[in-house]
C-alpha cells in the first residue's frame, strides 16, 4: 500500500471514530464564545490601566509527540479553553493560515532531527488547526508562506496534507492566484509606510499564525508575530539581489538592533493575527535554524494558543524560561530591542504576565529552559 493511500485510510478511520465527538465538543465551546466576544479585524488599542479581567487569555497544553490523535486532542482542548473559534470564524469564512517554513529544503540538516521537529512548524499541528477551523464553519482555507522553493511544501508534508484536508497552498513570493501584488499601507509605521504583498492577505476574513517555539539570533525569540516576516515577498526586501533573506528588514549592522523589531510591528499592522498557535512539541534552542552553529534540538512538549499574538508570544517566551518584558541587552534580546515591548507600548496587546490569564497548564509546569543564541 502506498504511503498516501495509507494516510488517507488512517484519516477516514480517524474521522469515523472521532469527528462527531470532536465536532460536538468543539461546538459547545464555540457557542459559548460566540455569545461573549466579537470579531476583530485589527488590533484594538489599549493603554496601561485599561486591561480588563479576562481580556487576554492564553492556553497552554502538554503533548509529547506528533501522533495525530494526540495533537488533534491537544489543539481541540486549547481552543475550547479559549472559548472556541465562533467569534472569529463565521460560517463560510475565508481563512489563511501561515506556518513558519523558514530556511528551505537545502538548509544544513542536523542528522537524526527532521526540519519539522526542529525549526519549522510541524504539519500535524497545522492539520489539527484546520480541522477545528472547518468545524467552526470555514469553507475556504489557504496555507500561505513565502517559501524558499515550492519543494518546501512537498518535502515537509504540506502538499500532501493540503490535498487530504481540501485546502489550498499559496507561495506569497508569487502573485498567484492574482495578476499582481498590492501595496498595503501601514498605520502609524515605524520603518515601512507600506508593504507589497500577495492580495490574498487582504481578501481573507481570518488570519492565523502557527509558528515554531524558537529563539532567534537577532530578534531574541521568534513566535507568531515574528512569523509574519514571511508575508513580504523576498525579492522586494533585499539589499542585494543574491541575499537569501530579507536583508532590507535588518538594514546595516548598526541599524539592526532598532530596525528589525520595528519592522515586526509594521508588518503585523497590515495583517493582524486573529489566532496564534505555537508548536513547541519538539523544537531547538540557541538559534532559529541549523544555519546557526549553536542551534541544538530540544523537546519542550508544549503547545501555546491565544487570540492576541502579543500575549500569546509573551507566554511562550516565559515558557522558554525568558522574561517577555526584558529588553536589550538582557537575554534573550541580546542583539535587538524587544518587539513585544514595542507592541505593548503600541496598544497591540500586552506582554505583562500579570495582565494575562493563563488557561490549562501553568507557565511554571510547562517551563522548559531555552538557551538563547550567543
Using CA atoms in the order 105, 275, 262, 271, what is the torsion angle rounded to 10 degrees? Answer: 90
CB atoms inside a 10 Å sphere around CB 364: 9
27 has pLDDT over 70: no
CA distances from 172 to 98, 196, 229 (A): 10, 10, 11
Would you say how long the chain is, in residues? 374
Instruction: Return the C-alpha cell found at 168.
Output: 489550498
Note the pLDDT tens digit of each residue in 53-99: 789 999 999 999 999 999 999 999 999 999 999 999 999 999 999 99
Q: Whole-angstrom Cα distance, residue 123 to residue 79?
A: 18
The span from the first CA to the last CA of the chain, in angstroms, equals 47
Helical axes 158-165 vs 123-136, angle rounded to 10°: 20
Q: How many CA atoms lie within 13 A of 329 on its CB side?
A: 2
Q: The cell 481552543 sits on which residue?
A: 79
Note the pLDDT tens digit of each residue in 129-179: 999 999 999 999 999 999 999 999 999 999 999 999 999 999 999 999 999
Instruction: Return the C-alpha cell found at 314.
Output: 509573551
Q: How many CA atoms lie within 13 A of 235 on its CB side?
A: 10
Note the pLDDT tens digit of each residue in 101-121: 999 999 987 899 999 999 999
48 has pLDDT over 70: no
Among residues 280, 227, 285, 283, the alpha carbon closest in space to that of 113 is found at 283
Q: Whole-angstrom Cα distance, residue 277 to residue 16?
A: 26
Q: Model's pTM, two decimal places?
A: 0.89
Contact 215, 320 (CB under 8 A): yes
What percentage of the chain has pLDDT greater than the value 90?
A: 84
Q: What is the mean pLDDT of the chain?
A: 90
Residue 374: per-residue pLDDT: 86
Among residues 371, 327, 307, the alpha carbon closest in space to that of 54 is found at 307
Residue 42: per-residue pLDDT: 59
44 falls in which pLDDT band (50, 70, 90)? low
Phi, psi of 306 (to 5 degrees): -170, 170
CA distances from 68 to 5, 34, 75, 82 (A): 16, 28, 11, 21
Contact 339, 298 (CB under 8 A): no
Note the pLDDT tens digit of each residue in 191-222: 999 999 999 999 999 999 999 999 999 999 99
For 189-251, the DSSP string reads -SS-SEEEE-THHHH-SEEEEEEE-EEETTTEEESTTGGGGGGS-GGGS-SSTT-SS-HHHH-
Mean local confidence (pLDDT), 270-289: 98
Residue 49: per-residue pLDDT: 52
Q: Are strands 275-280 and 302-306 parallel, antiparallel or unpaired?
A: antiparallel
Among residues 336, 281, 344, 347, the alpha carbon closest in space to that of 314 is found at 344
Contact 30, 85 (CB under 8 A): yes
Note the pLDDT tens digit of each residue in 251-261: 999 999 999 99
2 has pLDDT over 80: no
Amino acid at each position: 500500500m502506498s504511503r498516501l493511500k495509507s494516510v488517507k485510510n488512517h484519516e477516514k478511520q480517524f474521522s469515523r471514530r472521532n469527528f462527531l465527538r470532536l465536532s460536538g465538543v468543539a461546538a459547545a465551546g464555540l457557542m459559548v464564545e460566540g455569545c461573549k466576544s466579537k470579531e476583530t479585524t485589527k488590533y484594538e488599542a489599549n493603554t496601561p490601566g485599561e486591561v480588563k479581567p479576562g481580556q487576554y487569555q492564553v492556553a497552554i497544553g502538554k503533548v509529547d509527540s506528533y501522533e495525530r490523535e494526540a495533537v488533534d486532542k491537544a489543539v481541540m482542548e486549547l481552543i475550547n479553553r479559549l472559548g472556541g473559534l465562533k467569534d472569529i470564524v463565521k460560517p463560510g469564512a475565508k481563512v489563511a493560515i501561515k506556518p513558519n517554513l523558514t530556511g528551505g529544503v537545502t538548509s544544513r540538516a542536523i542528522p537524526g532531527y527532521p526540519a519539522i521537529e526542529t525549526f519549522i512548524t510541524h504539519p500535524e499541528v497545522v492539520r489539527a488547526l484546520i480541522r477545528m477551523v472547518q468545524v467552526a464553519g470555514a469553507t475556504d482555507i489557504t496555507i500561505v508562506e513565502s517559501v524558499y522553493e515550492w519543494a518546501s511544501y512537498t518535502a515537509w508534508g504540506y502538499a500532501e496534507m493540503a490535498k487530504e484536508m481540501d485546502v489550498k497552498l499559496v507561495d506569497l513570493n508569487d502573485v498567484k492566484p492574482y495578476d499582481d501584488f498590492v501595496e498595503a499601507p501601514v498605520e502609524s509605521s515605524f520603518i515601512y509606510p507600506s508593504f507589497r504583498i500577495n492580495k490574498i492577505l487582504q481578501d481573507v476574513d481570518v488570519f492565523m499564525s502557527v509558528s515554531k517555539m524558537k529563539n532567534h539570533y537577532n530578534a531574541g525569540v521568534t513566535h507568531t508575530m515574528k512569523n509574519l516576516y514571511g508575508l513580504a515577498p523576498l525579492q522586494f526586501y533585499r539589499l542585494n539581489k543574491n541575499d537569501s533573506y530579507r536583508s532590507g528588514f535588518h538594514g546595516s549592522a548598526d541599524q539592526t538592533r532598532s530596525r528589525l523589531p520595528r519592522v515586526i510591528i509594521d508588518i503585523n499592522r497590515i495583517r493582524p493575527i486573529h489566532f496564534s498557535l505555537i508548536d513547541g512539541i519538539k523544537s531547538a534552542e540557541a538559534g532559529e535554524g541549523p544555519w546557526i552553529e549553536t542551534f541544538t534540538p530540544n523537546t519542550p512538549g508544549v503547545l501555546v494558543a491565544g487570540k492576541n499574538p502579543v500575549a500569546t508570544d509573551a507566554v511562550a517566551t516565559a515558557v522558554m524560561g525568558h522574561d517577555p518584558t526584558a529588553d536589550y541587552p538582557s537575554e534573550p534580546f541580546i542583539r535587538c530591542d524587544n518587539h513585544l515591548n514595542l507592541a505593548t507600548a503600541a496598544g497591540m496587546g500586552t506582554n505583562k504576565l500579570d495582565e494575562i490569564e493563563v488557561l490549562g497548564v501553568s507557565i511554571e509546569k510547562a517551563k522548559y529552559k531555552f538557551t538563547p543564541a550567543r
